[in-house]
């Protein structure tokens, strides 16, 4: 069997187990594959194995792989830091932007969407670990931010996204995910439809599933390790 397909079986098993342990339905947790640095052919193997959600961190990689894989329908989410000068390109290829984290970006997104006479699905990214190195709106400003973004009628808020703390202390990791869940409850009570909770990665997604994740994002557990450290993707310009 193709190694990617083999890894996917293992991940699907882990998801099933975690959902059973948490008393949740396996079908309520989507698997998004984080495909940064992964060549299109490897992604094709995952698509052929039945996966449908792919996430890219860099606009250029999103564009290249979307072109290479255009004959296989799949969801393309943008999960990296989005610079506002890349908005038109990301809109051309992505069907959801999970990393909306500042008002200036939302404003420019709205303006461009108006110009193109269309709408876009987004998640709001929250910095639940409070690490300086990470992007995302501060948790205490998240509700006010969501209420502002909701005023932009071309932007459809669908969920919340976070990158949890990297730590062997699972209690600290869990805290991040619980915080995002609580923000979701607070926002839905205010009528903001943040039904998706995108949280959990290769090393910790069981915790995220216990805390209510509806979408987990895995890269290394499917495709193997990457040449660049993750800080290369998360801290640019920080």
Ligand X SMILES: *Cc1c(COP(=O)(O)O)cnc(C)c1O
36 near ligand X, judged by CB under 6 A: yes
Q: Which C-beta is closer to ligand X: that of 154 or that of 174?
A: 174
125 near ligand X, judged by CB under 6 A: no
Member of 163, 176, 183, 213 binding ligand X (CB under 6 A): 163
128 near ligand X, judged by CB under 6 A: no
Member of 57, 127, 128, 184 binding ligand X (CB under 6 A): 57
Q: DSSP letter string over the chain?
A: --HHHHHHHHHHHHHHHHHHHHT--GGGSEEEEE-TT--HHHHHHHHHTT--EEEESSHHHHHHHHHHTTTS--EEEE-S---GGGHHHHHHH-SEEEEE--HHHHHHHHHHHHHHT--EEEEEEB-TT--TTS-SB-HHHHHHHHHHHTT-TTEEEEEEE------S-HHHHHHHHHHHHHHHHHHHHTT----EEE---TTTHHHHHHTT-SEEEESHHHH---SS-THHHH-TT-
Q: Which C-beta is closer to ligand X: that of 109 or that of 216?
A: 216
Distance in Å, CB of 117 to ligand X, minimum: 30
Stretch that binds ligand X, among 3-11, 12-20, 39-47, 201-209 (CB under 6 A): 201-209
Going by C-alpha positions, the residue among 11, 36, 7 that lies closest to residue 230 is 36
Distance in Å, CB of 218 to ligand X, minimum: 4
Per rule CB under 6 A, count of chain residues that contact ligand X: 15
7 near ligand X, judged by CB under 6 A: no
4 near ligand X, judged by CB under 6 A: no
217 near ligand X, judged by CB under 6 A: yes
**CA quadruple 155, 74, 81, 61: dihedral, nearest 10:** -140
Distance in Å, CB of 151 to ligand X, minimum: 26
124 Cβ partners below 8 Å, 6+ apart? Answer: 100, 101, 137, 142, 145, 146, 149, 157, 159, 160, 161, 194
Q: Which C-beta is closer to ligand X: that of 33 or that of 183?
A: 33
Q: Which C-beta is closer to ligand X: that of 110 or that of 214?
A: 214
Q: Which of residues 78-107 bind ligand X (CB under 6 A)?
A: 79
Distance in Å, CB of 139 to ligand X, minimum: 17
201 near ligand X, judged by CB under 6 A: yes
Distance in Å, CB of 10 to ligand X, minimum: 13
Residues that bind ligand X (CB under 6 A): 34, 36, 57, 79, 163, 201-203, 217-221, 230, 233
């Amino acid at each position: 069997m193709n190694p990617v397909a083999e890894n996917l079986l293992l991940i699907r098993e882990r998801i099933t187990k975690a959902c059973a342990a948490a008393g949740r339905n396996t079908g309520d947790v989507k698997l998004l594959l984080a495909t940064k640095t992964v060549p299109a052919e490897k992604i094709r193997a995952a698509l052929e194995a039945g996966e449908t959600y792919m996430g890219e961190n860099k606009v250029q990689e999103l564009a290249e792989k979307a072109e290479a894989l255009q004959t296989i329908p799949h969801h393309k989410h943008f999960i990296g830091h989005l610079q506002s000068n890349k908005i038109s390109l990301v809109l051309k290829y992505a069907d959801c932007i999970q990393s909306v984290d500042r008002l200036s970006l939302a404003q420019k997104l709205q303006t461009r969407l108006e110009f193109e006479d269309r709408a876009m699905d987004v998640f709001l990214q929250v910095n639940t670990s409070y690490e300086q190195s990470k992007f995302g709106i501060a948790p205490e400003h998240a509700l006010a931010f969501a209420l502002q973004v909701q005023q932009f009628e071309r932007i459809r808020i669908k969920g919340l996204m976070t990158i949890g703390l990297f730590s062997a202390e699972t209690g600290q990791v869990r805290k991040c995910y619980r915080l995002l869940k609580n923000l979701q409850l607070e926002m839905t009570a205010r009528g903001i439809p943040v039904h998706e909770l995108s949280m959990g990665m290769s090393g910790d997604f069981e915790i995220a599933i216990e805390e209510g994740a509806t979408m987990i994002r895995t890269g290394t557990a499917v495709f193997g390790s990457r040449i660049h450290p993750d800080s290369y993707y998360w801290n640019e310009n920080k």
